[in-house]
Amino acid sequence: MCGVLGYYSDVVAEAAYFAYLGLYAQQHRGQQSAGLAVSDGRRIRIKKGMGLVTQVLTNEALAKMNGRISIGHVRYSAAGEPHIANAQPLLGATRHGQIAIAHSGRLVNSAGLRRELQLNGAVFQSTTDSEIILNLIARQQCDSIEAAVVKAYSRLQGAFAVVLMTNDALIGFRDPSGIQPLCIGKLADTILLASESAAFDTIGAEFMREVRPGELVIIDAQGLRSKVINAQGRPAFCVFEYIYFARPDSYFAGKNVHLVRKQIGRRLAQEANLVADLVIPAPDSGTSAAMGFAEEAGIPFDFGLMKNRYVGRTFIQPTQALRQQGVRIKLNPVRALLAGKRVVLVDDSIVRGTTSAKTVEMVREAGASEVHLAVASPMFLHPCHYGIDIPSTDHLIAPERTKEEIRALLGADSLHYLSLEGLYAAVGAKSDQVCDACFSGRYAAGMYEATQDLDFLEDDND
Ligand code: SF4
């Protein structure tokens, strides 16, 4: 899932700096590319590139981007390969003036929409869904940008949180099921939009509320206006935000992510019922759940694996070879702590299994007498059609194997997954209030159509 940011102020001319900080706080949501668009009221300037926020948005770049409206994006490629052409925001000149757009999520009907637009003469320069949305908006025969967005919205299916700006307005909208997060914040007279509320804390802004599923918000000189465009979606917020994606200090539906993860760990401890000497987290996303597990089980908690914090998340790196390499350079066991102990290793999830196998091996090699793997989510059995880059079940460890086969493959003494019921109880939601499709196979907003060949981008020399 990517991270988006929107900033609107009537007076402050430093939108770029605030947007930069909001993006920086959401770096964990994507590390392949970063970008910012800023309007000074006359024209929109864009700076984007491959790499981290700090690499792309330098002081020098920000100093040239005066303005009071801004949108930003950090990208993890769910649709479209990692390539400079797919870095966002995208900019277009339309009948409504310049429009910059950035998006998180995945349209399940993108192939059909792209084909239809191409048949009508559209030319694509990226393989992103954002370009499809921009084209749809630009082609509506409407007098106002608001009306054009509403009409374009009716064509979109799947998961999306979009921020869009003109030279005088900031617009945000969210898919009818609310799969992708989008929050509204306030700092004096300034309004912000962000994937996660933690972005507001960084800026000193206050969290107002989440954009509702199917809601469009428009922020301009008249203030903030809102309109629910589609109230028909069944609520399906991505439960994986609680498990893995989001920062522990973010809030969704009034719940703090760290506390939800601790609750998940407690529930897992009840279900696993293990006897052990030590609970350790798989850093960093297993930490909160491991703390809850240890508290509930009455087993000491400690940090048995130390992480080099300057290596990116292995899950987000794009190839298997890089992922494997990433694991070796990223973690180091604390032998003095692990030697001779019966260890419970708590991980947030097992998707491909590569990282978990290496981690179990590392703990064992450090001298642990037993390694029990406790997973703070149910079995990952189905591909995500809404944002995670797992196109088919071939990439998952669980679908074709029994739990015992997975345990043997990972080299653990025992393996414990959280039940679906346990997940609902810990998150405080019913099964029809969240998206849990990667565990249950119940897709609330449809599945991909047949894909189109999108291999048309030039070699990237950026
Ligand atoms: S399938 Fe899983 S990862 Fe994808 S949106 Fe649903 S809960 Fe989130």
Average pLDDT rounded to a whole number, residues 36-60: 96
Average pLDDT rounded to a whole number, residues 389-405: 83
Ranges of each domain in the chain? 3-236, 256-428
455 CB-near residues (< 8 Å, 6+ apart): none
Model confidence at 462: pLDDT above 50: no
Residue nearest to atom 2 of ligand 1 (CA): 438
Q: What is the pLDDT of residue 83?
A: 87
Least confident of 32-46, 93-107, 194-208, 307-321: 307-321
User: Any residues with Cβ below 6 Å from ligand 1, and which?
Assistant: 179, 238-240, 384, 386-388, 435-438
256-428 placed in CATH 3.40.605.10: no
One-letter amino acid of 395: H
CATH topology of domain 3-236: Glutamine Phosphoribosylpyrophosphate, subunit 1, domain 1 (3.60.20)
Q: What is the pLDDT of residue 448?
A: 85
Active site residue 2: yes
Distance 351 CA to ligand 1 centre (A): 12
Distance 364 CA to ligand 1 centre (A): 32
Question: Which class for 188: exposed (0-12), middle (13-18), buried (19 or more C-beta within 10 A)?
Answer: exposed
Nearest atom in ligand 1 to 436's CA: 7
Same fold, 3-236 and 256-428: no
Residue nearest to atom 6 of ligand 1 (CA): 435
Quote the mean pLDDT of the chain.
92
Model confidence at 316: pLDDT above 60: no
Q: Cα angle vertex 345, ends 274, 332, to 5°? A: 155
Ligand 1 probe mutation, 29, 238, 351, 436, most atoms within 8 A of CB? 238
Distance 448 CA to ligand 1 centre (A): 13
Sign of the torsion formed by the C-alpha atoms of 192, 195, 197 and 203: negative
Ligand 1 probe mutation, 436, 442, 448, most atoms within 8 A of CB? 436
Model confidence at 322: pLDDT above 90: no
Q: DSSP letters along 289-356, please?
A: HHHHHHHHHT--B---EEE-TTSPPGGGSSSHHHHHHHHHHHEEE-HHHHTT-EEEEEES--SSSHHH
Distance 459 CA to ligand 1 centre (A): 31
Distance 190 CA to ligand 1 centre (A): 32
Q: What is the model's pTM?
A: 0.93
Quickly state the pLDDT bin for 80 (edges 50, 70, 90). low
Nearest atom in ligand 1 to 383's CA: 1
Distance 272 CA to ligand 1 centre (A): 24
Distance 197 CA to ligand 1 centre (A): 20
Residue nearest to atom 8 of ligand 1 (CA): 238
Ligand 1 probe mutation, 29, 242, 435, 448, most atoms within 8 A of CB? 435
Model confidence at 136: pLDDT above 50: yes
One-letter amino acid of 371: V
Tokens of 19: 């947007």
Beginning with the edge strand found earlier in the chain, give each strand of the sheet holding 44-50 in spatial order: 44-50, 33-39, 69-75, 3-8, 190-194, 183-187, 206-210
Q: Which residue has the higher pLDDT, 431 or 391?
A: 431
State the Cα–Cα distance between residues 407 and 324, nearest whole angstrom: 19
Residue nearest to atom 5 of ligand 1 (CA): 238
Tokens of 61: 């770049």
- Mutual orientation of helices 320-330 and 354-365 as an angle, nearest 10°? 30
Average pLDDT rounded to a whole number, residues 17-25: 97
Model confidence at 461: pLDDT above 60: no
Percentage of residues in the chain having pLDDT higher than 70: 92
Nearest atom in ligand 1 to 241's CA: 8
Nearest atom in ligand 1 to 387's CA: 4
Nearest atom in ligand 1 to 434's CA: 7
Average pLDDT rounded to a whole number, residues 187-211: 97
Q: Which of 2, 183, 238, 384 is catalytic?
A: 2
Q: What is the pLDDT of residue 87?
A: 95
Residue with token string 């909001």: 22
